[in-house]
Amino acid sequence: MDVRVVVPLAEVDRPRPPERAIQFLVGGGEQALDAEARVVAAIDAEQRVPQARQSVDRRRRRGARGHEERDRRETTHAAIVYSRAVPYLTAQLPGTGGLIKAVPEDFVVEELPAYAPSGEGQHLFLTVEKRGITTREMVLRIARELGVDPDDVGVAGQKDKQAVARQVISVPAIDPARAANLKLEGVEVLSAARHQHKLRTGHLRGNKFTIAIRGVVDDGEARARAILDQLTAAWLPNRFGEQRFGSVGDNAGDGRKILLGQLHVEDRFRRRFLISAFQALLFNRYLAARMEEGLLHRAMLGDVMQRTDSGGLFVVTAEDMAYTQARVEMRQIVPTGPIYGYTMFTPPEGTPAAQRESSLLAEEGIAPSVFGQFGKLAPGTRRALLARVTGTSARQADDVLTLSFALPSGSYATVLLEEVMKPGEPIKLQADS
């Protein structure tokens, strides 16, 4: 197996924080959204994956694994393992140690909806609680019981399998009373209300987590509170969690091979998934490099910034550097990183920000134009480098530490847990795909 080790871009003239090696086995502030139209527009602007890409018939889903195995047999290229040293933002603070997810009830996640159902319309919004099953399996079970097509069921986000998850889904209009008290294996419907349209991917404000960490040190609560206080003030590095790169770990490497024409994957949805894993890997590397060089909270000339109230993007100019930096420090805006693609908002040519982003892609031997060959499979977007952490609490009983916190949609609880626990290796939960 080939191993590619990515070395930090530069040494800096200051003490470097302790680092941990994260292996990618080839593999934004919480925004107050006060109107549904504003939510939908912002999501569309961020080029989220259309719901149609999730509406795959069951035959293709069943065949995806077969395609994948055949595709692996057809390629002679060895898997690539990416290794990257990533510093903790809270490296100077000791961690709690411990383990998570001894039982599903140790990891509870609750969606924070972007808007409430209106009470009328052709769709029914169901608040459901699932445990021990994937979001997809939950959809299949509810659809079968209610007699609707699974492709007509809408979800805002995928939730981890080994957890207790409360989330909202939509189904075609049926009698609310029929669905309101539905109880199936692993699924319970908590409430039902009508709405005008189907729920779309990304239509949520964020997620609230309640997580039990077992086997922590005696002063785990004090350690956790110190770390959470720092993350609340500085915000969380918004990298993708390890589960994004697959249980085997070669997702990102396979995505790179697809872009370079070294691997053929017949199933379109699997192909997009692998490419997006590679895009996520590059974002994580970009984020890590800025952390290592002390640039996570600094504005650079040409940086694409995101307004934390609206999600709008703009470019940093030389004339506004001082003012822009002041806004970063107040968290009115945050720097963004690249999710490379053919329609990505890019920094102006010739700026330090543009050079940094193009150099990272060049290291992989990939030209920006390559993404255009894959059309809607790799449109590209921007992702905030920092995510607001809110609603934090920590309490300890014996050696069990219970944390509560909220993160924006798309941010990973495991990234925050790694800051708190300081484990010897990255936390990888089972992906819900």
Known catalytic residues are 160
**411: its two tokens:** 């941010």
Q: Which long-range contacts (CB under 8 A, 24 or more apart) does 255-262 make?
A: 255/26, 255/279, 255/281, 256/26, 256/80, 256/364, 256/366, 257/75, 257/77, 258/374, 259/366, 259/370, 259/371, 259/374, 259/378, 260/365, 260/366, 260/370, 262/75, 262/77
In the block, tokens 């506004």 appear at 320
* Residue 149: CB atoms within 10 Å: 11
Mapped onto helix, strand or coil, the DSSP state of residue 206 is: strand
- Cα–Cα distances (Å) from 418 to 20, 32, 283, 349, in that order, read 10, 27, 18, 36
- Count of CB atoms situated within 10 Å of the CB of 188: 15
Reference 427, options 187, 132, 98; nearest CA is 98
Strand partners, 146: none
Count CB neighbours of 296 within 10 A. Answer: 22
Amino acid identity of residue 31, one-letter, is: Q
DSSP state of 111: E
DSSP state of 257: H
State the DSSP string of 32-93: P---HHHHHHHHHHTTPPPGGGT---HHHHHHHHHHHHHHHHH--PPPEEEEEEEE-TTTTS
Can you tell me which residue has the tokens 């602007």? 45
SS3 of residue 414 by DSSP? helix
Residue ranges of the alpha helices (H) in 151-267? 176-180, 220-234, 251-259
